[in-house]
Amino acid sequence: MTKLSVNINKIATLRNSRGGNVPNLLKVAADIQGFGAEGVTIHPRPDERHIRYQDAYDLKSIVTTEYNIEGNPIDKFKQMVLEIKPTQVTLVPDSVDQLTSNAGWDTITHQSYLKEVIAEFKEAGIRTSIFIDTDLKLIEAAAKTGTDRVELYTEEFATQYEKGNKEAVKQYEEAAILANELGLGVNAGHDLSLDNIQFFKQNIPHLDEVSIGHALISESLYLGLENVVNMYLHRLQ
């Protein structure tokens, strides 16, 4: 079964909009796991506009499933991850002022850099994953970095699926098959939703984990958080 990791950045965004501690990020993380989610994902950014670095430390004792921290491995981020030692670190090539992730790593150009960073995290016992597009050459290069997994960047799939182009899933299927052949685990995330997750799951072999935040929290405004978490789990079976 593909694991569901819930990205709680949007909960932090809502909290930060008023100051104070409502909604309580730690309680939401605990509740999400109680509802059945198999992981919690956060993506702290340097400006701390949603998840704060302190949140990452505070969540360590709350996340009893799989704890996934995403981000660009700048020095501050690396230090935090090495101190917390989450289950998984997902490397994302975001610029400092980026609104949201919009591209995967060029694992050919940045291969030496990624090797160095990944070796440091793996030495600390942290599973590593690289946020990546479906270009098969980039998948092959990713395998040479020493990473444990790749996370397929799924925005293009989601956009095409909404337009009725279901053939767009093929490039993700091919990327997942190659990654598996190269000994890499396969994660996926970005713009996956209740509308497209079941189709994606049914067509992507070897899918270890999906990380879903924006859509899941938005859907929960209408349907309720516990209900939505279980709707995702049902579609991923």
Mind telling me the catalytic residues? Answer: 43, 70, 190
- Residue 199, burial from CB neighbour count under 10 angstroms (0-12, 13-18, 19+): middle
The Cα 186–Cα 174 span in angstroms is 12
Angle, vertex CA 8, rays to CA 41 and CA 70, nearest 5: 35
Report in angstroms the alpha-carbon separations of 197 from 2, 111, 209, 236. Answer: 11, 31, 12, 7
Both tokens assigned to 108: 């050919």
